[in-house]
Amino acid sequence: MAAPAAVEGVAVTALRSVFLRVRQAAERAGTQTERVRVVAVSKTKPVSLIRQVYDAGHRCFGENYVQEIVEKAPQLPEDIEWHFIGHLQSNKAKTLLGGVPNLAFFHGVDNEKIANHLDRAVSGLGRNPLKIFVQVNTSGEASKSGIDPSDCVHLAEYVKSHCPNLLFSGLMTIGMRDYTSTPENFKTLSNCRLEVCKALGMAEDECELSMGMSGDFEQAIEMGSTNVRIGSTIFGPREYAKKPQN
């Protein structure tokens, strides 16, 4: 009897299939696949599973609970590019930055206060600037974090002029949960980019877009996204036994 073939972990298989779909969506959009960053969102998932995906060559991971990322990051290799993707209470900025030296991106700056706290935390640590995305609430849902689209220029300008330790890198949004208005939400974010680029004199490719999750990442790429945040399609459904608060 032949020895069974090595079984690749399901998350790694799923990641490969995500990359295939990303490539196809990028082709349809007429963009290069390399311009789309796949953030593997590992919240609620064990370090061992992240490690499998890391060992398969992936380096870009996202988390959105402070307590969880500061616990997991030190158990994983330093060359991971960590993304924090969501709302953060300003008094947790220091904990986050201090606990995750290799935090590369923060998707979710939605007011001046959090920008100031992040800026100070980066400065206090003397680390390299933190790349940030300004979060825009494009669906109008009260439950969602993010600034009103009409305020995006102001907040982007604020970060650029008042936060020397932050690097304004673009705009982020979360589409509506039932996906009914996804194209509208993504269009709104793309319009925000036009305004920001015009007001701040930036080229369009200097202002990235972070939009698209498991259910709508292909559509997001077709509409110009350069950062897709994909969790359950890679790691399987999440288990919320205990949901820490940010």
- Interface residue list for ligand PLP (CB under 6 A): 41, 43, 64, 85-86, 174, 213-215, 229-233
Contacts of 99 (CB under 8 A, 6+ apart): 66, 69, 70, 73, 74
Q: How far is the CB of 3 from ligand PLP (least distance, A)?
A: 35
Q: For the chain, give me the number of helices (H) and strands (E)?
A: 9, 8
The nearest distance, CB 234 to ligand PLP, in angstroms, is: 8
For residue 62, give the H/E element and its range: strand 60-63
Exposure of 135 in the CB half-sphere (CA atoms within 13 A): 23
Nearest residue to ligand PLP, scored by beta-carbon proximity: 231
Q: Which of 131/229 has CB closer to ligand PLP?
A: 229
- Residue closer to ligand PLP by CB (options 126, 143) is 143
Write out the two tokens for 189: 């974010």
Query: To the nearest whole angstrom, how small is the minimum distance from the Cβ of residue 21 to ligand PLP?
Result: 13
Distance CA 170, CA 131 (A): 9
Distance CA 227, CA 221 (A): 8
DSSP 3-36: PPPPPPPHHHHHHHHHHHHHHHHHHHHT--GGGS
Q: Which is nearer to ligand PLP, 181 or 214 (CB)?
A: 214
Bridge partners (DSSP) listed for residue 229: 39
CB closer to ligand PLP, 140 vs 179: 179
In the complex with ligand PLP, the residue whose CB is nearer, 80 or 88, is: 88
Choose between 62 and 149: whose C-beta lies nearer to ligand PLP. 62
Q: How far is the CB of 218 from ligand PLP (least distance, A)?
A: 12
Task: Write down the least CB distance from residue 182 to ligand PLP, Å.
Answer: 12
CB of 212 to ligand PLP, least distance (A): 8
